[in-house]
Chain A
Amino acid sequence: MTRRSLSAACAATAVIWGGATFAEISPADIVWEDEIAIPASLSGTPGDPVAGAVTVSSRSAGNCLSCHQNTAMPEHDFQGNIGPSLDGSGARWSEAELRGIVANAKRVFPESMMPVFYNDNPEDYIRPGEAYTARAYNPETFSTLLTAQQVEDVVAYLMTLTDW
């Protein structure tokens, strides 16, 4: 076991819920494989592709369509074209790789314009703000852009995009 994964195993927060135990993995404790993939679920709960589709399209959540087109969502006008189309992502990438891309795209594509959706450390940013207020961030409330479960849901949705 590497030092990284050992500390990850120790630090994973145990959440007791309805009798079952889920281990939610915090951003600092992610265990990477081959530098670009995250094999383990971040939330411990399987992703829901229907919820994932909402996160992908919603401006206040993933807002992925601001940069990506996705022909599976023709009902959403104004899809951006900064990044490649999401069509076929589920065929091009494994689930672990998609988790890596959604959680921390800059690790997979160095210098990418794609934001890091799963990092809650304000010190990694230059002048982080409080959401879209233009004011300084609040250390009490600063959080990841997507929750662990939202990342899982988005990955589950992307896995359904196999046509391209």
Chain B
Amino acid sequence: AMLSSTAFADPHPDAELIIEGELHIATRAEPPEHLGGVLPEIYSGWLFRTDETRELQMDDFDNPGMLFAERGEDRWELAEGTANQSCADCHGDVESMAGVRAVMPKVNENGELWSMQNYINNCRTERMGADAWGWNSEPMKDVTSLISLQSRGMPVAVKIDGEAAEFWEKGREMYYTRFGQLELSCANCHEDNWGRMIRADHLSQGMSNGFPTYRLKNASIVPLHQRFRGCIRDTRGESFAEGSQEFRELELYVSSRGLGLPVEGISVRQ
């Protein structure tokens, strides 16, 4: 085996993400100011994947995540609950959700930091009189995939000041905390060592703009909090729960590191 370290280093130098030969999605951007120069440029995780994996995302027919969004369309129209209403009854065409994914998570009118899943479940329980969907459940994956797709190509634009500031600070603190028996922080892998190999894995900058992601290894959509759980597990650490306050704060902070990178809607990763 060739073990030259430079052979593995860095994201793909010039690959361009163009979907169906027409929709151009930037995978490189100027780093947000709050990063204070710790990253020279910000990169989508797409640039760190193999040719084969990258190609799957360039064609909606090949992208297995699109099947989830398709199922999401049926769910969007399905009347449920004591109110016997569907998402479409109130929100109309799902295109009305354009831009929503790009600003999640965000502070709601009661001052709480909510992820998209929280907004959806609030509609289900408070407005439809239906059961909440589990964070990693199939219907939640389907509908979040569909809604995210409406923001495809729109730059991540989470708000981090005002009421969001205290949540953002906590997320930032978590990002630099060395969890678990291996004492590894998110920054150890994704800020200090992106571009390097950790065994067979090519480390990206751990950006969240591609989520929800279709992960080949799981053969399913992987929501962002499930990815967080996997990364903390790999530190031999005790994870937080998907949907927890901690993970929503981390979601806000991680999203803010990718401010300016376009939402990929449903990305494909290995």
* Interface set of A (CB-CB < 8 Å, partner B): 59, 63, 65-67, 69, 71, 74, 77-82, 106, 113, 115-116, 125-137, 145
Contact = CB atoms under 8 A, between A and B. Distances in A.
B5 A69 contact: yes
Interface in B166-192: 177-184, 188, 192
Nearest to A75: B1
Interface residues of B, number: 31
Contact of B180 (A63, A77, A128): A128
A80 B199 contact: yes
A128 B236 contact: yes
Main secondary structure of the interface of B (DSSP, over half): loop
A77 B200 CA distance: 8
Nearest to A106: B183
Nearest to B236: A129
A116 B183 contact: yes
B193 A82 contact: yes
Given A133-B233, A136-B238, A69 B3 contact: yes
B237 interface: yes
Contacts of A71: 3
Interface of B: 1, 3, 5, 8-9, 177-184, 188, 192-193, 196-200, 229-230, 232-239
Given A129-B238, A134-B230, A137-B181, 19 more contacts: A69-B3, A69-B5, A77-B200, A78-B200, A79-B1, A79-B3, A81-B9, A82-B196, A82-B198, A113-B193, A115-B184, A127-B179, A127-B232, A127-B237, A129-B236, A130-B238, A132-B234, A134-B238, A135-B238
A127 B198 contact: no
Given A67-B198, A69-B5, A115 B193 contact: no
Contacts of B180: 125-129
Main secondary structure of the interface of A (DSSP, over half): loop
Contacts of B233: 129, 132-134
Contact of A137 (B184, B197, B198, B238): B238
Contacts of A126: 177-180, 183, 237
A131 B199 CA distance: 18
Given A78-B197, A80-B199, A82-B196, A113 B188 contact: yes
Contacts of B9: 81
A100 B197 CA distance: 25
Contacts of A128: 180-181, 236-238
Contacts of B238: 127-130, 134-137
B181 A113 contact: no
Contacts of B177: 126
Contacts of A129: 180-181, 232-233, 235-239
B204 to A, nearest CB: 14
Contacts of A136: 238
18 contacts: A69-B5, A78-B199, A79-B199, A81-B8, A82-B196, A113-B192, A115-B181, A125-B181, A126-B183, A127-B180, A128-B237, A129-B232, A129-B235, A133-B233, A134-B237, A134-B239, A136-B238, A145-B181
